[in-house]
Amino acid sequence: MDFLERDLERRLTPRNCLPEARTVIVCAYPYPSVPAGPDPGWRTRLTGRIAAYARGHDYHDVLSERLRSLCEDLHRAGAGRTRVHVDFGPLAEKDLARRAGIGWYGHNTNVLTKRHGSFVVLGCILTDLDLAPDPPFTEEHCGTCRSCIPACPTNALDSGPTIDASRCISYLTIELRGPIPMSLRPLIGNWVFGCDDCQTVCPWNAQSNAIPPFLRPSLVDLLSNSENAFQAAYAATAVARAKRRGLARNAAVALGNSGNAEAVDPLARALREDRDPIVRGHAAWALGRIGGREATKVLVGTPTVSEAPPVAAEIRAATVTARRGGPSPGPRL
């Protein structure tokens, strides 16, 4: 996430996005939440988890359309220039949301609102219309609650409230394009796109009882999907940001964390046939994590001579682990 630091000055200066800007209108758009509890049967069913905000059509498109409609009202009220901003380009949306009176920084580093908690996405309109500002949100309603900090599987949160983005599951499963650090893979559980753990424990977050199937996808399907199948399933959703290779990589990690021997065959096919070295490397790791005779047989029988060095290294390390029987499946998630 080095780009955040590089663009810091631009993010703090809205006129870099619209030189004529006099006002920033900030909106919080709520989305349906998922249940707080774990999914104890995922290892048997081999299902993953997708963060709740990614359900349905891509929030970038949905919120942008609504804000553009609001811009039409602004133009009728005398605005000459407007610009819609929904999580793209350099703009510090969370700071602007606090200054606009929407909410406060929670210890999960999200903006919390009294009505919807942190289950909101933010959007901004920059305009040259000079509007009277709302008072900033100066209160802090987390009190002594620190539930979100120990709830983070990778210990990315502290009481700052700040976050180590390099350990955040949302960063690892979405923004990180290369291999996931080996030490963090077992901690990801079955998250394949984003993570809601620090939100679902928050007392401010009201949660739904429904579990949409979209949020519990088949890990085997995610691993084996072609580019066309991936596009057909996710092109209109926020999940598309992870790209096919990222989602397949994440599915391989989750299959390894399942400890389920039924995952060996799809992982073996990915190791032999997937064109992407990132996916093949993580499939090898997953086989080593599952361990056992069949996983070991696959790894030993996979030639490394023609493989890219990082994939060959993953296969060799996984073979050693598998021959030891594989590690324990890890925490029950």
Dump pLDDT digits (tens) for 109-118.
999 999 999 9
Domain containing 176 equals: 1-217
Average pLDDT in the 190-200 region? 94
Please indicate, yes or no, if residue 223 is contained in any of the structural domains: yes
Q: Are residues 283 and 182 in the same domain?
A: no
Q: Are residues 206 and 228 in the same domain?
A: no
Residue 300 above 60 pLDDT?
yes
Predicted model pTM: 0.91
Burial of 4 (0-12, 13-18, 19+ CB in 10 A): exposed
pLDDT of residue 32: 81
What are φ and ψ of residue 25, in 5° steps? -100, 125
Neighbouring C-beta atoms of residue 189, cutoff 10 Å: 25
Average pLDDT in the 247-252 region? 98
SS3 of 24, please?
A: strand
Q: Are residues 42 and 178 in the same domain?
A: yes
Q: What CATH number does residue 230 fall under?
A: 1.25.10.10
Q: Are residues 93 and 169 in the same domain?
A: yes
Q: Which domain-ending residue is among 157, 189, 217?
A: 217
Q: Are residues 148 and 271 in the same domain?
A: no
**145 vs 35 pLDDT, higher one:** 145
Residue 6 above 70 pLDDT?
no
Please indicate, yes or no, if residue 332 is contained in any of the structural domains: no
Token digits of residue 254 = 């989750």
Q: Are residues 147 and 259 in the same domain?
A: no
Q: Which domain-ending residue is among 158, 182, 217?
A: 217
What span, in angstroms and rounded, lies between the C-alpha atoms of 105 and 326? 41
pLDDT of residue 331: 45
Number of domains the chain contains: 2
Q: Which domain-ending residue is among 159, 183, 217?
A: 217
Mean pLDDT over each residue of the chain, to the nearest integer: 91
Average pLDDT in the 55-80 region? 94
Token digits of residue 3 = 């780009």
Query: Does the annotation count 61 as an active-site position?
Result: no
Among candidates 239, 240, 234, 271, which has minimal Cα distance to 256? 271
Q: Are residues 212 and 253 in the same domain?
A: no
Please indicate, yes or no, if residue 59 is contained in any of the structural domains: yes
Q: Are residues 49 and 169 in the same domain?
A: yes
Q: Which of 2, 39, 73, 87 is catalytic?
A: 87
pLDDT of residue 329: 47
Q: Are residues 204 and 301 in the same domain?
A: no
Q: Are residues 36 and 140 in the same domain?
A: yes
In sequence order, the β-bridge partners of residue 112 are 104
Please indicate, yes or no, if residue 333 is contained in any of the structural domains: no
Residue 34 above 90 pLDDT?
no
Q: Are residues 235 and 203 in the same domain?
A: no
Average pLDDT in the 36-54 region? 87
Residue 332 above 80 pLDDT?
no
Q: Are residues 297 and 203 in the same domain?
A: no
